Structure 1
Amino acid sequence: MTFTEELKATAQAMVAMGKGILAADESFDTANQRFQKLGIPQTVEMRRAYREMLFTTAGIEKFISGAILFDETIRQATQDGVLFTKVLQDAGIIPGIKLDAGAKPLAGFRHERITEGLDRLRDRIDEYYSLGARFAKWRAVIAIGKDIPSQCCIEANADALARYAALCQEGGLVPIIEPEVLMDGDHIIAESFEVHQRVLHAVFKRLYLYRIQLDQMILKPSMVIAGMDCPQQSSVEQVAQATVECLRNHVPASVPGCTFLSGGQSTELATAHLNAMNRLSKKQLPWMLTFSYGRALQQEAMKTWMGKATNVVAAQKAFSHRAQLNSAAALGEYNSTMEVITTASSPIPS
């Protein structure tokens, strides 16, 4: 199979009907911060044990098509010595890798950031492919505020996304393009819509210029939503309508799917928004709409696990339940009554 055939097949598999992507690519700092809040020791072994708990959850492949890993995680193994990449592959879940080096201050543009990590990226892609990765992720961060985002910030991040995507497709990895418009701030939904349009227009213009094969990539957009501090919060239906309209205006039909990030939304709200979009579209869109959630998939499982081996079964049940609800939302079949889960998922006292 050529890279082209492999990339097309992988991209289609990543957005298979009713399945989404687990974002388990938290950096050391992010993972440790979440552990610290729950009183879980911030060690390599704890991070490994936590990822093992997620990846070995029975039947999770029914709802999860791929898992984005961090550099540390793609090299780790279960307690029995089985590489995580093999655990995932054996379950029919595609391993992926986070490739960006994080968002750093954009020189000359206060309060704006540019994502770095292009140096030696070709070599890193070759290594990660040999380690089992078949797709990758790169996140750009766009803030809304007074006089921002600047067009320079949008264009610089769009260019980096396109350069990354070109190197990925050359090296056999399906690129996930993640231009995240942040929820931080007090902006109304109309401002979010306008910025999303500017960002998506710039991104796809750059993807075209860099000759990216659109049927061999995945878009990971944020939802069109008011800022967290905005007193005028929109309804679930308004968010769904604005997001679908924005995507229709700017995302070419040849893109296989959009796997949304949750972007700081509550667990339940991220699921409800995805469900509303799929109900609104009635499967008449040219691309699949599904999830690529991190915290919105993991939060309850982590709280249930608490770093204790005695809680693994209950934590896996919580994780599987959340994945199942998001799978239902990807089909437009979710409702809030499905949130109920038996008390068997509660932590078991040690």
Structure 2
Amino acid sequence: MSQPLSDRTKSHLFSVVKRLFQENKGILALDQSERHFNVKFNAYCLENNPHNRARYREIFITANPKFTKAISGVVFSREGFYQRTKDGRLFTDILRSYKIAVGVRMDGPKSIDDDFEKRNVIIDLDTLPKRLNALKISGCDFTKAQMRLNMSQFTPELARKHAELLSLFAAFCQKVAIVPVIVIVGVYKGDHTLERCKQVLSSSLCILKATLFQHNVYIKGTVIALQWVTKGVDCPTEYTITQMAEATHDILITNIVPAMYGIMFLSSTGEEKLTTEVLNEIVKLNLTNKWRISFIFSRAVQASALDIWHGRDDRLAYAQNEFLKRIRANYLALQGNYHDFLMLKNPYTAPEPGHHYDDLFDDD
């Protein structure tokens, strides 16, 4: 069990959490691994190197500043945290000028033991304190680590092993006044049903919550992110958006405690339109409760921009417009007003460069 934090540290951590949960805002995840970029870039015959990865991240960082109306934080990989734009500006300096919190994904490829899932991403606790101190000096506000679940092979014992590691991670982060963001995500592959996914996510969240308390982690200074409930890609049963949202909301009713400021959702499938529709339905179900709901999205706001960009400078403006449009859609979903976006003419068609959807971010 970690030592209690000072009141000053608690106050700072809670202030960062409140920044991340600003009304109608979420976190942009630019923390993809090199392995993930192999898949992204191979489809467009782009070489997977630091230069191209930086140019990809620059699409979003240098987009029209209107995107800041819907983004409270950006989480990078360790590489991305220190990268610069073509003209030499640190990505993090640009974001701080917008008063956006910056974070780093901290998982690494070290396993706990032979029984731990080989494909899971694990935190190296031996080097964690040193890395956290270096990030704090560099202005890091929050860090992210994840609990990766296999729906068909899930056991409470494995979940407790995950939760133990992540609770230690959270305690280390808070000691240096960095907010830990803990993500619970399931493997989309498989034939698991909606009910199975709900059971696994609910059990994992319950176990994680209990373990955090056992390690004296300051819950108000912690962010928990959860994928929404969905079936496996090979499951033959079809479920409606309402069924997925209701199953997800049931987990909140069971597991959210007053000490938790809110909860964030990530995309379960990466499908942009579906992700926004489910988020919209969850928010509408939550209108009578006091929980803050937000998102931490990667593919769900980036995929179509990459489809447009293709690594070409002459397509950059088109890609940035597409990104702004996806951000706007989720900005409305956090209000339960996504249908307003669907009323627009051709909402899924990229606009010409020069039209940045400025009018869509005007106050209602």
Does TM-score exceed 0.5, indicating one fold? Answer: yes
- Aligned-partner Cα distance in 2 for 1:103–1:17: 37
* TM-score (norm: length of structure 1): 0.93
Pairs within 5 Å for 1:1-350:
2-58=8-64, 59-102=66-109, 107-108=114-115, 113=120, 115-145=122-152, 148-282=153-287, 284-335=288-339, 336-338=342-344, 340-344=347-351
Gapped runs of 5+ residues in structure 2?
1-6, 354-364
Structure 1 residue 92 displacement after superposition: 1.9
Secondary structure of 2:188 counterpart: coil
Contact 2:106–2:123 under 8 Å retained in 1? no
Give, as a single letter, the amino acid of the residue that structure 1 aligns with 2:81. I
Contact 2:110–2:124 under 8 Å retained in 1? no
Structure 1 residue 337 displacement after superposition: 4.0
Structure 1 residue 20 displacement after superposition: 0.6
Structure 1 residue 343 displacement after superposition: 4.4
Give, as a single letter, the amino acid of the residue that structure 2 aligns with 1:141. R
Secondary structure of 1:255 counterpart: coil
- Aligned-partner Cα distance in 2 for 1:221–1:32: 25
Structure 1 residue 191 displacement after superposition: 1.1
- Aligned-partner Cα distance in 2 for 1:343–1:191: 38
Contact 1:55–1:84 under 8 Å retained in 2? yes
Contact 2:305–2:320 under 8 Å retained in 1? yes
Aligned length: 343
In structure 2, do the counterparts of structure 1 residues 26 and 109 end up closer, same or farther at CA, with 3 Å as the change threshold? closer
- CA distances 1:18-76 after superposition (whole Å, capped 9, x unpaired): 10100100011112320111222322111111111210111111111100001111111
- CA distances 1:204-236 after superposition (whole Å, capped 9, x unpaired): 010000111111111111112211211112111
- Aligned-partner Cα distance in 2 for 1:30–1:222: 19
In structure 2, do the counterparts of structure 1 residues 162 and 105 end up closer, same or farther at CA, with 3 Å as the change threshold? closer
RMSD: 2.0
Q: Give % identity.
A: 26
- Aligned-partner Cα distance in 2 for 1:205–1:33: 37
Moved more, 333-342 or 4-13: 333-342
- Aligned-partner Cα distance in 1 for 2:81–2:117: 35
Contact 1:305–1:314 under 8 Å retained in 2? yes
Structure 1 residue 116 displacement after superposition: 3.2
Structure 1 residue 113 displacement after superposition: 4.1
* TM-score (norm: length of structure 2): 0.89
Contact 2:30–2:74 under 8 Å retained in 1? yes
Contact 1:106–1:112 under 8 Å retained in 2? no
Structure 1 residue 118 displacement after superposition: 1.8
Give, as a single letter, the amino acid of the residue that structure 1 aligns with 2:48. Q
- Aligned-partner Cα distance in 2 for 1:238–1:14: 28
Contact 2:104–2:143 under 8 Å retained in 1? yes
Contact 1:103–1:140 under 8 Å retained in 2? no
Contact 2:275–2:300 under 8 Å retained in 1? yes
